[in-house]
């Protein structure tokens, strides 16, 4: 019974590895850093954004093995049932140095299903059922050495989905809040504006009440490589960065036959002194690349750029460009 499954998985990985060079060839010359340098939006914000890089699995294993460091990853898995074996193979390959938290989008899990068979060794799986469509759903694999709680700010609607957790560890100088966000690729302008307003309000509330580092992960479906070509994408970027959140991923995270886009990301409101290293795994599990961030827990400080937004940006509803 196991042999056909192993052959299928290995065959899938071989096919994916063969596509890696094509992905890198098309993507290495597209960078958010270049866009911000050529079309600056805010000097202080741009100066704190560092370039991310592509890593293969062996490079990733070496990178996250450093002591006193934590690694957070995010993946639009496009069905956790279908990708569970590949995720488990990746986690096993990293041994004890794997991610502390793996954020998931498009789990395709419905409310009330039994996810027992989707657990991973040494991890707890927490999740929320899909609400935007049957292809929604968000969640986390959390190392079982961490203490965690699910926050009430988790949000599900027919426009976007989120789940927020708070993690604690003896190794961390303070708790960290992590969010998993999924916004499907709606073309309705009103839906995009609603998402920008609602996520900004949630982040504003979390920062005001917790004063903790926040890591916002997910598939936002706003292509930051079109930052200066699209008013709505610009509005999203300005709303997030005005709250003190910087994007950690600066290279494309998804490639199709006709495009390469930066729609998955990790935003943080901290790590000003911890020198985080962020990257993208070159071996895809789905048609979205896995993104990760590693940071030193000894130098974890809250970003002092935090700004409270009391009102929505002027003329937000009048933006008409499409993503």
Say if CB 104 and CB 136 are below 8 A apart: no
pLDDT of residue 235: 96
Say if CB 300 and CB 173 are below 8 A apart: yes
Burial (Cβ within 10 Å: 0-12, 13-18, ≥19) of residue 114: exposed
Both structure tokens of 235: 């509005």
pLDDT of residue 170: 87
pLDDT of residue 3: 36
Burial (Cβ within 10 Å: 0-12, 13-18, ≥19) of residue 59: middle
pLDDT of residue 52: 95
CATH architecture of 2-318: 4-Layer Sandwich (3.60)
pLDDT of residue 142: 98
pLDDT of residue 322: 42
pLDDT of residue 250: 97
Query: For the chain, which ranges sit under pLDDT 50?
Result: 1-18, 43, 304, 306-323
Which backbone phi and psi does 136 adopt, to 5 degrees?
-95, -155
Residue 227 CA, chain-centre distance (Å), reads: 18
Domain ranges of the chain: 2-318
Please tell me the distance from the alpha carbon of residue 78 to that of residue 71, in angstroms, as a whole number. Answer: 22
Please tell me the distance from the alpha carbon of residue 217 to that of residue 125, in angstroms, as a whole number. Answer: 16
């Amino acid at each position: 019974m196991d042999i056909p499954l192993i052959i299928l998985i290995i065959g899938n990985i071989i096919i994916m590895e063969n596509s890696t060079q094509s992905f890198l060839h098309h993507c290495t010359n597209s960078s958010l850093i270049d866009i911000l340098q050529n079309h600056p939006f805010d000097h202080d914000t741009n100066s704190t954004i560092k370039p991310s890089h592509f890593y293969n699995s062996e490079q990733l294993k070496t990178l996250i093995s450093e002591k006193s460091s934590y690694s957070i990853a995010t993946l639009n898995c496009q069905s956790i049932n279908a990708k569970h074996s590949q995720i488990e193979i990746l986690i096993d390959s990293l041994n004890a140095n794997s991610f502390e938290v793996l954020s998931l989008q498009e789990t395709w899990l419905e409310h009330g299903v039994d996810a027992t068979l989707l657990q991973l060794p040494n991890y707890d799986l927490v999740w929320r059922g899909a609400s935007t469509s049957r292809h929604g759903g968000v969640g986390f694999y959390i190392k079982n050495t961490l203490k965690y709680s699910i926050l009430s700010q988790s949000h599900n609607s027919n426009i976007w989905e989120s789940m927020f957790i708070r993690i604690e560890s003896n190794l961390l100088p303070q708790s960290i809040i992590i969010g998993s966000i999924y916004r499907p690729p709606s073309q309705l302008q009103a839906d995009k504006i609603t998402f920008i307003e609602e996520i900004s309000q949630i982040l504003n509330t979390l920062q005001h009440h917790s004063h903790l580092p926040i890591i916002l992960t997910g598939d936002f479906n706003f292509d930051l490589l079109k930052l200066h070509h699209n008013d709505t994408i610009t509005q999203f970027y300005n709303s997030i960065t005005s709250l003190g959140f910087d994007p950690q991923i600066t290279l494309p995270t998804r490639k199709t036959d006709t495009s390469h886009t930066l729609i998955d990301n990790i935003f943080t409101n901290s790590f000003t002194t911890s020198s985080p290293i962020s990257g993208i795994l070159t071996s895809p599990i789905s048609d979205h690349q896995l993104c990760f961030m590693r940071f030193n827990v000894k130098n974890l400080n809250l970003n002092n750029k935090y700004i409270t937004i009391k009102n929505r940006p002027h003329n937000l509803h009048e933006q008409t460009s499409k993503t």
